[in-house]
């Protein structure tokens, strides 16, 4: 390929100055960038305001693309369903029969649960959702895992609120704008959620692994009790996340924990629910108040 | 074929000329759009999409050296930082550095072909993605290097496509549409 036209400045003062100035401007860009990076490393929240305004500005397009995404997913699902409908139909019939039996059992358990709760004078502490919103965009080209929801200060969203979908925990609110908010997804490496095994409450921490999976770290070291297929739910210790929100399924056992798959894949969720920050209620008074100083 | 701003191959039909507004704004607009689009495409659980804004930035500078000034990394990077999720300022820094490197290489190696341009772009893309991860880790992310490997491969393979796209936009940019009097 031919070289570009000669851009040598020669003896022309004007050409020399303009070349020099263009390089200087480039170096100024580097210096400004370095300054911004150092500022944002020292104070990560320094540019939250600018980012929120920018995200608010593109929110309408984000909503449109979110609708388009869900439509595209439906088309693929319909095409796939066309080929597997017969098999699926038979399986669903079988499962429906089983589910009907289970439903009756569940109703009985629920009734008993209500009765026992009345006995203990406990109230159902199911908080209302703060907002229902769409995940409109994400940082799919960065190694950090952020997403944007189209609900902000206007719907009462504040920093720290957990975000969940119908199938499980998605993340928590990090920055709030006027009409949108930034969510730290649970797959981000900086996200740390206290969890427990759904069946027996083995406590652990679930940290994002960066590649879409979750690293479960057991708090009690020793023999690893986890098994493939165990469901981890949020334990609510330390507040923030409401206990019992389903989070991940263990897929691979490690020496001191496990790798787990996220239950609520954010790319498959249409709508998410922003929940109020969960705060543990007052601990029940201990049976023997005299022993409190002893331990 | 790289051609400088001083002598664009204007396809001047009789009584028609390219719109100066379109000719100067389209490169900037495509790059701004490139910074926005990957976020809208999917809610990703891992870094999978290429940094389209950066790829377009390199492709425009390789196709038309001198069309975007060296300092263009500053405003374009600022816009990318608003949406990329990186620590604020990382795109300003890295895009400006990439522009300077491209300018140097272009002055030293005037004869180029598809392969050398792709190789240079591969070098820049890999460095860019790795440094982005490095800046994230400085900010406390602690992400391992292996999570960006798929993204690097996808970015490298998609660069020629981005280059074709830029070439198409360049044709649109220089289409003679304004009637001369």
Phi, psi (5° rounding) for residue A84? Answer: -110, 15
Q: Does residue A195 belong to any structural domain of this protein?
A: yes
Rg, C-alpha atoms of chain A: 26
Q: Is A259 helix (H, G, I), strand (E, B) or coil?
A: strand
Residue with tokens 């409450």: A201
ipTM of the complex: 0.83
Q: Does residue A147 belong to any structural domain of this protein?
A: yes
Q: H-type helices in chain A, by residue range?
A: 13-42, 48-57, 59-120
Q: Does residue A176 belong to any structural domain of this protein?
A: yes
Q: What is the pLDDT of residues A133-154, one digit of tens each?
A: 989 889 988 889 999 999 999 9
CB A140 within 8 A of CB B39: yes
Q: What is the mean pLDDT of residues B87-92?
A: 92
Say if the Cβ atoms of A33 and B100 lie within 8 Å: no
Q: What is the mean pLDDT of residues A225-237?
A: 88
Q: Does residue A104 belong to any structural domain of this protein?
A: yes
Cβ neighbours around A92 below 10 Å, total: 11
The Cα of B136 is separated from the nearest Cα of chain A by a number of Å equal to 7
- Minimum Cα–Cα distance from A264: chain B residue: B45
Q: What is the mean pLDDT of residues A23-30?
A: 91
What is the C-alpha separation between B66 and B26, in angstroms, rounded? Answer: 15
Provide the pLDDT confidence category of residue B106 given band limits of 50, 70 and 90.
confident
Higher pLDDT, B14 or B95: B95
CB A240 within 8 A of CB A277: yes
Mean pLDDT of chain A: 85
Residue with tokens 């701004």: B32
CB A159 within 8 A of CB B98: no
Q: Confirm or reject contact between B88 and chain A (CB < 8 A).
A: yes
Q: Confirm or reject contact between B34 and chain A (CB < 8 A).
A: no
Measured between beta carbons, the chain B residues lying within 8 angstroms of A138 are 39, 42-44
Name residues 144-173 of chain B within 8 A of A (Cβ): 144, 146-148, 151
Say if the Cβ atoms of A37 and B85 lie within 8 Å: no
Q: Is the pLDDT of residue A258 over 60?
A: yes
Q: Does residue A285 belong to any structural domain of this protein?
A: no
CB A215 within 8 A of CB A206: yes
What is the total count of domains within chain A? 1
Q: Is the pLDDT of residue B13 over 80?
A: no
Provide the pLDDT confidence category of residue A294 given band limits of 50, 70 and 90.
very low
Q: Is B156 helix (H, G, I), strand (E, B) or coil?
A: helix
CB A49 within 8 A of CB A180: no
pLDDT score of A20:
86
Domain boundaries, position A197: 48-279
Residue with tokens 């800046």: B135
pLDDT score of A2:
53
pLDDT score of A295:
41
What is the C-alpha separation between A155 and A150, in angstroms, rounded? Answer: 10
pLDDT score of A293:
44
Q: Does residue A22 belong to any structural domain of this protein?
A: no
Sign (positive or negative) of CA dihedral A148, A151, A153, A156: negative
Q: H-type helices in B42-174, by residue range?
A: 52-63, 73-84, 90-108, 114-138, 149-173
Q: Does residue A144 belong to any structural domain of this protein?
A: yes
- Furthest C-alpha separation in chain A: 96
Q: What is the pLDDT of residues B122-156, one digit of tens each?
A: 999 999 999 999 999 998 888 888 899 999 999 99
Phi, psi (5° rounding) for residue A257? Answer: 165, -140
Phi, psi (5° rounding) for residue B48? Answer: -125, -30
Q: Confirm or reject contact between A143 and chain B (CB < 8 A).
A: yes
- Which two structure tokens, joined as six digits, stand for A68? 């388009």
Phi, psi (5° rounding) for residue A211? Answer: -110, 20
Q: What is the pLDDT of residues A205-221, one digit of tens each?
A: 999 988 889 999 998 87
Report how many Cβ contacts below 8 Å link chain A to chain B: 214
Provide the pLDDT confidence category of residue A282 given band limits of 50, 70 and 90.
low
Sign (positive or negative) of CA dihedral A35, B86, A49, B28: positive
Say if the Cβ atoms of B106 and A4 lie within 8 Å: yes
What is the C-alpha separation between A31 and A135, in angstroms, rounded? Answer: 35
What is the C-alpha separation between A196 and A202, in angstroms, rounded? Answer: 5
Q: Is the pLDDT of residue B93 over 90?
A: yes
């Amino acid at each position: 390929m031919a070289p570009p036209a000669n851009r040598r400045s020669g003896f022309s003062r004007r050409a020399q100055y303009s070349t020099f100035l263009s390089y200087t401007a480039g170096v100024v860009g580097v210096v400004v960038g370095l300054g911004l990076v150092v500022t944002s490393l020292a104070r990560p929240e320094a540019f939250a305001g600018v980012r929120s305004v920018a995200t608010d500005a593109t929110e309408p397009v984000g909503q449109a693309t979110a609708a388009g995404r869900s439509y595209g997913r439906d088309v693929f699902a319909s095409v796939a369903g066309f080929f597997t409908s017969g098999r699926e139909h038979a399986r669903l019939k079988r499962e429906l029969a089983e589910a009907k039996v289970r439903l009756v059992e569940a109703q009985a358990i629920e009734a008993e649960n209500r009765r026992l709760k009345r006995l203990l004078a406990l109230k159902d502490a199911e908080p209302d959702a703060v907002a229902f919103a769409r995940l409109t965009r994400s940082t799919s080209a960065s190694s950090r895992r952020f997403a944007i929801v189209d609900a902000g200060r206007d719907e009462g969203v504040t920093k720290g609120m957990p975000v969940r979908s119908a199938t499980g925990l998605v993340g928590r609110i990090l920055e709030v704008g006027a009409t949108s908010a930034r969510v730290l997804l649970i797959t981000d490496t900086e996200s740390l959620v206290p969890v427990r095994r759904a069946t027996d409450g083995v406590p652990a921490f679930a940290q994002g692994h960066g590649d879409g999976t979750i690293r479960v770290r057991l708090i009690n070291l020793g023999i690893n009790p986890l098994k493939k297929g165990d469901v981890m739910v949020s334990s609510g210790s330390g507040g923030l996340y409401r206990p019992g929100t389903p989070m991940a399924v263990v897929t691979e056992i490690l020496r001191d924990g496990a790798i787990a798959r996220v239950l609520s894949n954010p790319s498959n969720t249409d709508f998410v629910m922003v929940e109020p920050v969960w705060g543990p209620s007052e601990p029940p008074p201990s049976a023997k108040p005299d022993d409190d100083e002893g331990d | 074929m790289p051609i400088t701003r001083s002598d664009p191959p204007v396809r001047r039909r009789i009584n028609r000329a390219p719109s100066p507004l379109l000719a100067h704004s389209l490169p900037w607009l495509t790059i701004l759009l490139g910074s926005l689009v990957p976020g809208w495409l999917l809610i990703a659980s891992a870094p999978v999409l290429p940094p389209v804004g950066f790829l377009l930035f390199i492709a425009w500078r390789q196709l038309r050296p001198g069309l975007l000034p060296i300092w263009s990394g500053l405003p374009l990077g600022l816009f990318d930082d608003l949406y990329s999720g990186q620590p604020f300022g990382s795109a300003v820094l890295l895009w400006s550095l990439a522009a300077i490197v491209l300018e140097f290489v272009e002055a030293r190696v005037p004869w180029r072909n598809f392969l050398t341009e792709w190789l240079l772009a591969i070098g820049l893309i890999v460095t860019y993605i790795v440094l982005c991860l490095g800046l994230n880790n400085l900010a406390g992310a602690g992400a391992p290097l292996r999570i960006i490997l798929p993204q690097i491969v996808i970015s490298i393979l998609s660069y020629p496509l981005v280059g074709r796209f830029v070439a198409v936009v360049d044709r649109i940019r220089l289409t003679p549409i304004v009637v001369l009097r």
